Amino acid sequence: MITNTELEYKGNLYPNRIVDYKRDSDKLYFTTENGVILEVTVLQDSVLRFRYATEYVFEPDFSYAISETASKGYNRLEVTENKTEYLLETSVLQLLIDKKTLRTQISDLEGNIINEDELGFHWEENYEYGGNTVKMSKITQTAESFYGMGDKATHSNLKGKRVNNWCTDQYAYGKDQEPLYKAIPFYTGLHNGKSYGIFFDNTFRTYFDFAHERRNITSFWADGGEMNYYFFYGPQMSEVVRSYTNLTGTPEMPPQWALGYHQSKWSYFPESRVKEIAENFRKLKIPCDAIYLDIDYMDGFRCFTWDKTRFPDPKRMIGELNEDGFKTVVMIDPGIKVDRDYWVYQEAMEKDYFCKRGDGPYMQGKVWPGACKFPDYTNPEVRAWWAELYKEFMAEIGVHAVWNDMNEPAVMEVPTKTAPLDTRHNYDGHPCTHRKAHNIYGMQMVRATYEGVKKYVFPKRPFVITRAAFAGTQRYSSTWTGDNVATWEHLWIANVQAQRMCISGYSFVGSDIGGFAEQPNGELFARWIQLGVFHPFCRVHSSGDHGDQEPWSFDNEVTDIVRKFIELRYQLLPYLYTMFYRYTEYGTPMLQSLFYYDQEDTQTHFRTDEFIFGKQILVCPVQEPNAKGRRMYVPRGKWYNYWTEETVEGGKERWVTADIDKIPLFIKEGAIIPKYPVQQYVGELEIKELILDVYFKIGPENSMIYEDAQDGYDYKKGQFSLRKFKLVGKENELIIQQFKDGSYTTSYESFKFKLHGLPFTIATIEVDNEEVPLKQIKLNGNNSIEIDKNFTELHITGK
């Protein structure tokens, strides 16, 4: 007779003694007496993957995060065994696996410990949902710092903090609020001058404790799934981030207009209002490339429809805007209105494409249209169908780009703000509940959107924006940091979030400039523009409930400042485009926090405000009202003040003057910064001459300029121009060598070199070993000279 029907509560369970080891090429398997299997995969000499199975069974090996193009391969892998442990060794790392406990220790070849298990892998049976809560704890090393984790609204250094990942619609979120819109379970650790990274590839709700609960312990765990994580070793943080970005992927080059200034609001309507906004930009000569239409362009918030009263002829309107240099971007949400007369709803019902609850009925929730159902984007058939829905918008009406919002998914008027956990998903043939699929729902929506937009704007390049994201979403889409607030604190948050996203593999990021909720004053708006033009994605967006937020919405002084900085962004477009090229090709973050830029300098480890824009421009926003300047940390090296051309030695904190019309801005010595003339939109002008600002340095410095047709795919067939410059400065001479790759022919024939900080008066100039008369190169004092773009070596000597 059964006398007790309660399940035994076992608490935390741990692996015990290893009883079996085998190797299969790059995979090593260690099995314990109580049925735990550790699979170690060597992806590269510095990249290891750890998977743990319980009860001898691994889950299907499937991931949305990992890029199909991730490069793999190692030079050396040796495994030896002694009485107490197994030793795995590559050409870079050593991995010890304890025979009694399955705990691991990773060190470099000199024996310096990089990362070490504390309790290591352990788990707890989940009687409510089945499966396990999987856990990992590590020893925090001396003076260790932690960075990354996506769009967390908190200090750059996560030491002493606990965060979690559950994509959440957090309107008007605050500093340190958890969780937010994105789930990127990747962090970098830095200690003793060495950096490593850990990516926990688990889509359930995940938690990370960076020595918060226990001072010397770092841990991470998930509500379900497998303990499956990747370990990356530097020792430079740049190598760690590049390895992670290689694993999860990078986007294609965007159309260059996507890097211009964009204007948005909830909402611009009717058509006459949209035209008025466009006309004001051109009348006031404030550059702008895109205008956004929020949900009010739709018929009753039904996706893929138009309100014909507000927008009677969208194709004509979009065409007229395009003639004046404006691209049109429209919003599409995941919630499909329950309406039997609505063709998108009908199709999805007929094809059975909506998500269902555990007992069979459709998952339904309230969003902007009222009652909605939600497509299951984890089903490949649904993604293909969704992509086809964009045909009319893109190919026939002429919409240029799409903005996916509310795709956490956000559901109104429920405490959880999202779909019930028993909602079912296909998960690409691995059926599961929303517990597992929630964090990748927005990612798979924007993936489908990207495929549709890409197909129907061809031969142009797609541009897509998403709010919700998981690791790897950067392959498909740009993003922004969600519904922020018009406060000085949120200006600080926007700065930290953008930097954090960039070192989390997701560089195409920006914030709602000026704040989405509430209303900024002119000073805050001007200061936010000064920061926003140095973010990869540059867009003003606001709720509209609190007033206007166009560049001219404040006084004339603010309008002039805003114009000045937007013009600066357009001048720097070739530099910004080159930053994007480095990101796509090498995984280099477009913004570099100071701890990333110079990890050996411990003074950088807790800095939040300063960052490197690209590789050679130092930016530090002013983040307090009524400021005439600020103190900032200038990293080691020599830097030119952009506004005064004064040079400063770095490695220390200093006061920098920056009234309302300035932002602390410095150029690294030796840099060659390319500039275009100011345009009202990308492609308005044919570039007749490329300006190259050269900042003199004693010694060598390398610079790069990438250009192509600014749109289309010919760049993938060699139609690009990649110019690499090597500058060498000496006491009385300056040498610049050019190395060119690619077959794209730029529209300009000459460079205009503007020389900054030259310590001598020019006596002679040689181009490719032939002296050139100074009149011929239009020498203007010591400031500028004009040289044919095809030169190989420029040699300037002084007197």
**Active-site residue list:** 405, 408, 483
Adjacent-strand bridge partners of 80: 87
DSSP state of 211: S
684 burial level (CB within 10 Å; 0-12, 13-18, 19+): middle
Nearest to 295 by CA among 340, 345, 342, 334: 334
Rounded to 10°, the helix 380-388/343-351 angle is 160
Write the CA distances from 394 to 3, 460, 463, 540, 598, integer angstroms: 67, 11, 11, 24, 44
Show the tokens assigned to 770.
């032939």
Q: How far apart are CA 349 and CA 367, in angstroms?
A: 18
Alpha-helical runs (H) found in 394-521: 434-457, 488-503
What 3 state SS string does 569-635 have?
A: HHHCHHHHHHHHHHHHHHCCCCEEEHHHHCCCCHHHCCCCCCEEECCCEEECCCCCCCCCEEEEEEC
Phi, psi of 212 (to 5 degrees): -90, -55
Please, what's the b/e burial string for 219-234 (b: 16 or more CB within 10 A of its CB; e: otherwise)? bbbbbbbbbbbbbbbb
Containing 356, the helix (H) or strand (E) segment is none
Backbone CA torsion sign across 174, 175, 179, 185: positive
Residue 58 DSSP symbol: P
> Is residue 609 within 8 Å of 639, Cβ to Cβ?
no
What does the H/E/C string look like for 447-479? HHHHHHHHHHHCCCCCCEEECCEECCHHHCCEE
Kindly state the helix (H) or strand (E) to which residue 327 belongs, with its residue range.
Answer: strand 327-332
Contact 326, 289 (CB under 8 A): yes
**Distance from C-alpha of 551 to C-alpha of 545, rounded to nearest angstrom:** 17
